[in-house]
């Protein structure tokens, strides 16, 4: 069972492959967190029961497996049949007998379960033809959705640990570092530090103990790529870490996972147990005499613990707060020992780089950003989910070709990249290639790969305020500029959205931002003004409208927006039912009216009106009497 030589490793892979030869049809049920929430566990159980009941497993080589996240969470639960590659979306347990009877037994498709292209409205039969998948290049996520994360054999059959075997059986640590260097791999956590440079420094550093850490504290709103990797292919992370440990000669490692990712912890722990038993982790790895073991450490839920020095303090059992040392972690990190910290995605890339060579990886991407990058594409796009693309892909391609365009074909307004430390980019930047430098130049950043698409019904002042509200709670509060600065910045924004903006607010925002950028202790505070400054840079006129006209051009800020129903109303009553404040009155087939005194400006009527008969306008334009009655009502 234990793999202790090249021959045994090859034998284990052959054995895993042979075990799959009997699988004439594999039914892959996505059991990532998104699909689980949509009920995929029941779908998987229904398949297992139904297959057992029919005695199919032995007879026709039918095999059901629960995989990690396929990425297309919006259409879940997803079921993929292999080798035909048929993709079924939104599958429920009641569909299971039909899928077995028709598709598996006779090869007939079930049209209502197929994905329909939102543009052509035509059903797409195969997984690989869905535009969402067709345009992707998956390296870090190479096996997610293909393998059962709880089955090491399945991972081996899909090439897991081949990079590790290559490194340990045929390369020196220096050669491993050189290979990673030639790949141009840079940190996928967002800052983009050159991975090989970190490894070199840690290899050179003196110290009896060295640590290798994996940052799985993904905390940006809207980002979930690390979660999917840890859940769906934990072996890719382990493989990368063992290779890294061999390269820098470390024997102890930690994976720091945020506590909100329980499934990731379960799958990582299980994968580690299996890897240890197989001789891929722990003592005497692959019989080469190299020891390296990993502990999973669960974070307490603080966003700031994704910052490297805070993460290390948290691991040490201290309060998770950043500390400034002016010394690289590769020299003095965890417990003051040389430490290499890389993001989940970075580690997941390493195995593939060693297996295929640095040049292969470096052939993708732009001049200074090589390889691929995972993004969590969310917001107002038709296809939301997890994607991986070569660096340098344009934002337009991501949003329109993979994302399928804006929901309801509304106009695009902005895309937010990089989470709370990133910024909002307008339409004029849609053709920018996505890489570290370009995003930073444009006032945003790569960050952890969150990508939130916004349509015209988004107020950019409100968006900046959203991130400030997130950060004011997530700042650790150690240093003055971040703690007090965020509090004061939020107070300015609270005034802006409530119509209390004053001339000079923009200058106050800019001055405070500069103070926070220069004065804060860690990157959280230094980058906290990014959402503020990028919206100010590209949407200054919206700020001016809030301050000077007390108007929210997008009609989002409630205190500044009023609604009314215009002539084209057909009296269908849909808005009347949608209104939570019972502020709309009107007979069927007659013009409806909004009672301004009762209206809470939530916009629910605007969203549901089928005839576009509701318009919003600045509340300042309301007749004074109506405005006064509103004031009384609220």
Q: Does 207 bind another protein (CB under 8 A)?
A: no
Residue closer to another protein, measured from CB, 183 or 330 = 330
Residue closer to another protein, measured from CB, 344 or 516 = 516
Phi, psi of 282 (to 5 degrees): 95, -140
452-479 CB burial, b ≥16 within 10 A, e <16: bbbbebbbbbbbbbbbbebbbebbbebb
Rounded to 5°, the CA angle 239-241-246 comes to 100
Rounded to 5°, the CA angle 251-256-261 comes to 140
| 18 in Cβ contact with 301 (< 8 Å) | no
Q: Does 335 bind another protein (CB under 8 A)?
A: no
Q: What gap in Å lies between CA 33 and CA 397, rounded to an integer?
A: 27
Shortest reach from residue 480's CB to another protein, in Å: 5
Q: Does 575 bind another protein (CB under 8 A)?
A: no
- The phi-psi region of residue 543 (left if phi > 0; otherwise alpha if psi is between -120 and 50; otherwise beta) is alpha
Residue closer to another protein, measured from CB, 490 or 554 = 490
Instruction: List the beta bridge partners of residue 475.
Output: none
CA 5, 10, 14, 17 torsion: positive or negative?
positive
Q: Does 487 bind another protein (CB under 8 A)?
A: yes
Q: What gap in Å lies between CA 605 and CA 177, rounded to an integer?
A: 59
CA 342, 343, 344, 345 torsion: positive or negative?
negative
Q: What gap in Å lies between CA 147 and CA 155, rounded to an integer?
A: 6
Q: Does 502 bind another protein (CB under 8 A)?
A: no
Q: Does 485 bind another protein (CB under 8 A)?
A: yes
Within 6-109, strands assigned E span: 25-30, 62-67, 79-82, 86-88
Residue closer to another protein, measured from CB, 56 or 489 = 489
Site for another protein (CB under 8 A): which residue of 219, 481, 499, 553? 481
Task: Supply 625's token pair.
Answer: 């009497």
Q: Does 219 bind another protein (CB under 8 A)?
A: no
The residue range among 167-175, 254-262, 316-324, 617-625 that interacts with another protein, by the rule CB under 8 A, is 316-324
Task: Supply 41's token pair.
Answer: 């566990």
Residue closer to another protein, measured from CB, 225 or 313 = 313
Residue closer to another protein, measured from CB, 45 or 484 = 484
The residue range among 167-175, 179-187, 481-489, 560-568 that interacts with another protein, by the rule CB under 8 A, is 481-489
Shortest reach from residue 490's CB to another protein, in Å: 8
Q: Does 488 bind another protein (CB under 8 A)?
A: yes
166-183 CB burial, b ≥16 within 10 A, e <16: bbbeebebeebbbbbbbb
Give the per-residue contact string, 455-474, with another protein (x = CB under 8 A; - = no): ----------------xxxx
Shortest reach from residue 187's CB to another protein, in Å: 21
The size of the interface with another protein (CB under 8 A), counted in residues, is 35
Q: Does 483 bind another protein (CB under 8 A)?
A: yes
Q: Does 316 bind another protein (CB under 8 A)?
A: no
Footprint (CB under 8 A) of another protein, residues 229-248:
none
The residue range among 82-90, 232-240, 382-390, 509-517 that interacts with another protein, by the rule CB under 8 A, is 509-517
Shortest reach from residue 307's CB to another protein, in Å: 13
Query: Which parts of this chain interact with another protein (CB under 8 A)?
Result: 302, 304, 319, 323-326, 471-481, 483-488, 491, 508, 511-512, 514-516, 518-521
């Amino acid at each position: 069972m234990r793999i202790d030589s090249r021959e045994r490793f090859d034998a284990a892979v052959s054995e895993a492959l042979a075990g799959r030869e009997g699988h004439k049809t594999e039914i892959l049920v996505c059991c990532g967190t998104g699909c689980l929430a949509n009920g995929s566990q029941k779908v998987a159980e229904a398949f297992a029961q139904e297959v057992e009941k029919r005695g199919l497993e032995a007879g026709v080589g039918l095999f059901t497996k629960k995989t990690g996240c396929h990425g297309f969470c919006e259409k879940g639960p997803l079921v993929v049949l292999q080798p035909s590659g048929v993709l079924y979306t939104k599958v429920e347990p009641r569909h299971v007998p039909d899928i077995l009877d028709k598709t598996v037994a006779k090869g007939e498709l079930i049209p209502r379960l197929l994905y329909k292209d939102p543009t052509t409205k035509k059903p797409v039969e195969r997984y690989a033809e869905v535009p969402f998948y067709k345009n992707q290049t998956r390296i870090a996520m190479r096996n997610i959705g293909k393998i059962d994360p709880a089955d090491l054999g399945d991972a081996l059959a899909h090439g897991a640990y081949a990079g590790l075997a290559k490194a340990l059986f045929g390369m020196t640590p220096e050669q491993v570092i050189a290979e990673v260097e030639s790949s141009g791999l840079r940190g996928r956590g967002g800052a983009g530090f050159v991975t090989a440079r970190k490894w070199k420094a840690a290899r050179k550093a003196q110290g009896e103990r060295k640590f290798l850490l994996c940052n799985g504290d993904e905390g940006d709103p809207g980002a979930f790529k690390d979660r999917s990797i840890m859940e769906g292919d934990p072996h890719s992370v382990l493989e990368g870490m063992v290779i890294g440990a061999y390269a820098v000669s470390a024997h102890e490692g930690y994976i720091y996972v945020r506590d909100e990712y329980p499934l990731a912890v379960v799958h990582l722990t299980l994968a580690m147990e299996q890897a240890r038993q197989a001789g891929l982790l722990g003592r005497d790895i692959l019989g080469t005499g190299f020891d390296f073991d990993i502990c999973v450490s669960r974070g307490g839920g603080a966003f700031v613990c994704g910052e490297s020095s805070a993460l290390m303090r948290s691991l040490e059992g201290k309060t998770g707060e950043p500390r400034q040392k002016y010394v690289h972690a590769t020299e003095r990190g965890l417990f003051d020992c040389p430490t290499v910290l890389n993001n989940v995605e970075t580690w997941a890339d390493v195995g593939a780089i060693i297996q295929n060579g640095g040049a292969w990886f470096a052939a993708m991407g732009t001049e200074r950003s090589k390889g691929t990058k995972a993004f969590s594409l969310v917001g107002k796009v038709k296809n939301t989910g997890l994607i991986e693309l070569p660096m340098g892909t344009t934002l337009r391609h991501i949003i329109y070709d993979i994302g399928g365009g804006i929901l309801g074909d509304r106009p695009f307004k902005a895309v937010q990249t990089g989470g709370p430390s990133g910024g909002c980019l307008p339409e004029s930047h849609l053709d920018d290639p996505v890489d570290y430098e370009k995003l930073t130049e444009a006032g945003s950043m790569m960050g952890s790969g969150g990508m939130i698409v916004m349509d015209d019904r988004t107020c950019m002042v409100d968006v900046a305020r959203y991130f400030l509200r997130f950060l004011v709670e997530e700042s650790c509060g150690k240093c003055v500029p971040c703690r007090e600065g965020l509090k004061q910045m939020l107070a300015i924004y609270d005034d802006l959205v409530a119509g209390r903006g004053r001339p000079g607010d923009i200058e106050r925002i800019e001055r405070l931002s500069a103070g926070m950028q220069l004065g804060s202790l860690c990157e959280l505070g230094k980058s906290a003004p990014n959402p503020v400054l990028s919206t100010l840079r590209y949407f200054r006129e919206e700020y001016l409208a809030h301050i000077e006209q007390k108007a929210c051009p997008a009609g989002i800020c409630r205190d500044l927006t009023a609604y009314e129903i215009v002539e084209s109303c057909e009296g269908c009553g849909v808005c009347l039912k949608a209104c939570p404040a019972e502020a709309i009155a009107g007979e069927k087939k007659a013009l409806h009216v909004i009672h301004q005194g009762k209206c809470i400006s939530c916009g629910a009527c605007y969203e549901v009106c089928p005839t576009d008969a509701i318009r919003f306008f600045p509340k300042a334009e309301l007749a004074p009497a109506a405005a006064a009655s509103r004031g009384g009502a609220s």
